[in-house]
Amino acid sequence: MENDNMQGTMPVNTESLRQRVLPGDGRVYLTQLCATGGCGAKIPAGKLADVVRRLPVIKDENLLVGFDYADDAGVYKLSDDLAMIQTLDFFPPIVDDPYIYGQIAAANALSDVYAMGGVVKTAMNIVGFPEFLDEEILGRILLGGAKKVAEAGAVLCGGHSIKDNEPKYGLSVTGIVHPDRILANKGARPGDLLILTKKLGVGIVTAAHKVDLDRYGAFDEAVESMTLLNKYACESMDGCEVHACTDVTGFGFLGHLHEMAEASEVGVLIYKERLPVIKAAYDYAKDFIITCAAQRNRHYVGENVEFIEDDYAFEELMFDPQTSGGLLIACDSRDAHKLLDQIRIRQPWAAIVGQVTEKTERQITVL
C-alpha cells in the first residue's frame, strides 16, 4: 500500500516560503519563490529537442506548421483562405510586481502568433498559484495579462488554474493567418537581410536587479521592452517580402538564429556593432553578472558560431535568454530598409543586424 512518504516527494514548508516572499516590509517578492524566472526557465533546447524527436508524427495535409523545425506555433489550415495558429506559453515571475509580471507573461505568449505573421483572436489563462499568497496578488497578475490581451485586440475567454508553490502564469493563444502568408522560421534565403526589433540584455538586467546590482537603473528599460507587444512590428511587415520570422526568447538571440538557419539550410553573417542592446547589460556582463540559462544556450549552439572578435561580455548578450524578446525577421534585401523604417516609427532601436548567406560549415559568423 502506498503512502505519501513512498512517492519520492518531500513535504513543503509553506511557512518558510511565505517568509521569503512576504518578509514583513509590506512588499511582495514573487521572484524569491522561484529558482529561475521568465524565459530563462525553459528546458534547455538540446534536451527538449531530444525528447520531441521521439514523439510520433501524425500526418495531416492540413497541418501546415508542426514541431518539425522548432517553430513558434502550430498552424492548421481550415479553408483555402484561413488557417488557425495555436500556441501556449507560461513561466515563473521575472519581476516582483504582479501586474507587470502578468503583462510580461501575456506579451510573451501573444508574441508567438505575431512571429507567424498572424492576428490574435482569443486567449485563455494558465495559472499555478500558491495557496499561502493573497488572492489579490493573483488578481493583479490576471489583470496585467488581460490588459495585454485587450491591447492585442483579442478576447480573453477562460482558462485553468492549479495550486503550485511556485507561481506560474501565461496564456494559450489562438490566432488566424492566410495560409499563403504564414511566416515560419524556415524560409530564409541567401541575400536576405536580418532585422531585430528589440534590444538584447533583459535577462542580464533582471538578474542584476534581483540581486541589487542594477547600478545604472536599467530595470525600467528592460520592463518597457518586455511589456511591448510584437504586434506593431508584425503589422509593419504588411506589404514587404518577408521570408522567415521568429521571436527571440529563452534560447537567446543566437539560439533562435541557429534554429532559423538550421531550418532554412543557410548560413548567417551577424554585424556585432549593429545589434541593439541595453548598454547597462553589457557593462554588467563585463562584471560577470550573467545567467545560468545563457550558459546552457552557449552549450547548445556555441559550436555553430564563430566569433571573429574576442569579447566575452558581448557574447553573453547574444546568448542571454530574452523574456518577451523582439522579432527576428529575414526580409528580401529590396524591402528590408522600407520595413526597418516602418518598424522604427514605434521602435527606433530596431536594426538590420546581419544577412543570410549560402550554407556554411560553422553556420553563424559574428563579425
d(CA 244, CA 33): 38
Which set of grid coordinates corresponds to residue 166?
Answer: 511556485
> For every residue of the chain, which 3-state class applies, written as one string?
CCCHHHCCCCCCCHHHHHHHHCCCCCCCCHHHHCCCCHHHHCCCHHHHHHHHCCCCCCCCCCEEECCCCCCCCEEEEEECCEEEEEEEEEECCCCCCHHHHHHHHHHHHHHHHHHCCCEEEEEEEEEEECCCCCHHHHHHHHHHHHHHHHHCCCEEEEEEEEECCCCEEEEEEEEEECHHHCCCCCCCCCCCEEEECCCECHHHHHHHHHCCCCCCCCHHHHHHHHHCCCHHHHHHCCCCCEEEEEECCCCHHHHHHHHHHHHHCCEEEECHHHCCECHHHHHHHHCCCCCHHHHHHHHHHHHHEEECCCCHHHHHHHHCCCCCCCEEEEECHHHHHHHHHHHHCCCCCCEEEEEEECCCCCCEEEC
Which set of grid coordinates corresponds to residue 185?
Answer: 522560421
Annotated catalytic residue, options 39, 234, 240, 331 = 39
Q: How many CB atoms lie within 10 A of CB 162?
A: 9
Whether 331 is catalytic: no
* Amino acid at site 305: V
Residue 96 backbone zone (phi > 0: left; psi -120 to 50: alpha; other: beta): alpha
Point out the residues that are catalytic: 39
